Amino acid sequence: MKVFGKNYRASWMVVRGGRAIVKVIDQPLLPHRFAIKDLRTHLDTAEAIRDMTIRGAGTIGAVAGFGLAQACLEAPDEPAAFWSFVRAAYDTLDKTRPTANDLKHNLDRVVMRIAGLPPARAKRAAVAEANAISDWYARVGEQIARHGLRLIKNGTRMLTHCNAGWLALQEWGSAPAPAYLAHRKGRKVFVWVDETRPRCQGANLTSWEMMQEGVPHAIIADNAAGFFMRRGEVDVVITGADRIAANGDTANKVGTYERAVLARENGIPFYIAAPTSTIDINCRGGDDIPIEERSHDEVLFVTGRDERGGLQRVRVSPKGAPARNPAFDVTPARYITGIITERGIIPARRAAIAKLFQ
């Protein structure tokens, strides 16, 4: 995807002199400033996942793979010490974000690739596997765009929630990807972009991506989605996912469940777009998905650019007021029309999901 006319991925890795630097687009600075941040150790990379310097299930997964490859390069060459170091790094990275399935999926993918290898070969193999993971996300994002394209007719008005674009999946993204492709093919498409409180990933990130692509859109307050649905101004809802259970229940940014219920009430198809790496076949249903709860300050304060151009953090609540801040909610499978994967659009049903892994 392009930023100011130049192609970027959300993250990538540079290896020099036996060490790796993970380079990421610093997402909290957007849309006011575009900057690349260097993560020089696996601990830096773990912190960048934890503090949401990067976010989005696919990009979290890719960066986790990079982080474990960094750890392999940082580890001692003596075999016992090497594996002890790598195991500790695995645990550190695994504990950064609990909800997104792609994180552990890709840590395990790197571990499987290096298992049984001597340290020198394991280091090379870890780097190769981490880069392969990143390339895989780039391919599947485009495949999701092509499968989802049939949902975006000329004149379609789509609504999305949070950011599941290329910032969240290395390239192309998941939920907005069909709209990007439709726009590139000359179809008229319009996207309603939920602001997505409390961190405003829709207003800050999805809108910024849409502007880079030139896709017509409008940011709306989270509680305005039902207004436009009832007026007949939304034709389809497509969101991303952070974890999909074996029965089709799906965890995504908090507020997604409300969109699904509103869509059902108004006769609007509701789709989830995600790569198969987001599916956790060992998770029986939505009640088994761990839901991260983040700092209350994300609800009590907002950050933005003031009239002088500076970034300011301001309180929007009474001093001392309590808050709750679940980062995700679960949409039951019965509200989901289908899941757009790199292998096609499937029903949100246990049998259809199981078939993907046969």
CATH number at residue 294: 3.40.50.10470
Looking at the structure, tell me whether residues 7 and 63 fall in a common domain: yes
pLDDT for position 2: 78
Residue 305 pLDDT: 87
CB 291 within 8 A of CB 324: no
Note the pLDDT of residue 199.
95
- Which of left, alpha, beta for 135 (phi over 0: left; psi -120 to 50: alpha)? alpha
Give the residue numbers spanning the domain of 134.
Answer: 2-142
> How is residue 250 written in tokens?
């799906």
Residue 284's CB: how many other CB atoms inside 10 A?
A: 14
Q: What is the pLDDT of residue 310?
A: 85
Q: What is the mean pLDDT of each run of 10 residues along the chain (358 residues)?
A: 86 96 97 96 98 96 98 97 98 96 97 97 98 97 98 98 97 96 97 97 97 96 98 98 98 98 98 98 97 96 87 93 97 98 98 96
Q: Which two tokens stand for residue 52?
A: 């949401």
What CATH number does the domain containing 39 carry?
Answer: 1.20.120.420
186 in the same domain as 333 = yes
Looking at residue 307, its pLDDT comes to 85
Co-location of 153 and 237 in the same domain: yes
The whole-number pLDDT of residue 3 equals: 85
Judgement on whether residues 30 and 85 belong to the same structural domain of the protein: yes
Total number of domains in the chain: 2
- Residue 306, pLDDT score: 86
Shared-domain flag, residues 54 and 177: no
- Give the residue among 75, 79, 115, 114 at the shortest CA–CA distance from 92: 75
**Per-position DSSP letters for 223-271, written without gaps between them:** GGHHHHHHTT---EEEE--SEEETTS-EEEETTHHHHHHHHHHTT--EE
Kindly state whether residues 98 and 169 are assigned to the same domain: no
Do both 260 and 166 map to the same domain? yes
pLDDT given for residue 27 in this prediction: 97
Whether residue 154 is found in the same domain as residue 109: no
Q: 102, 242, 280, 329: which is the annotated catalytic residue? A: 242
pLDDT at 81: 98
Q: What is the DSSP string of 120-148?
A: HHHHHHHHHHHHHHHHHHHHHHHHHHHHH
**Contacts (Cβ under 8 Å, ≥6 apart) of 306:** 312
Residues 115 and 212 in one domain: no
| Shared-domain flag, residues 211 and 304 | yes
Q: Domain boundary at 90, 119, 142, which?
A: 142
d(CA 109, CA 129) in angstroms, rounded, equals 8
Residue whose C-alpha is closest to residue 238's, from 205, 206, 277 = 206
pLDDT of residue 311: 84
d(CA 276, CA 198) in angstroms, rounded, equals 28
| Domain co-membership, 111 together with 29 | yes
Q: Which of 142, 177, 198 is at the close of a domain?
A: 142
Q: Give the pLDDT confidence score for residue 4 in this predicted structure.
A: 80
**Sheet of strand 11-16: strand arrangement:** 11-16, 19-25, 36-39
242 is catalytic: yes
Candidates 285, 205, 265, 216; CA nearest to 240 is 205
Domain boundary among 115, 142, 169: 142
- 62 and 180 inside one domain: no
How confident is the model at residue 88, as a pLDDT?
Answer: 98
For residues 255 and 329, is the Cβ–Cβ distance under 8 A? Answer: yes
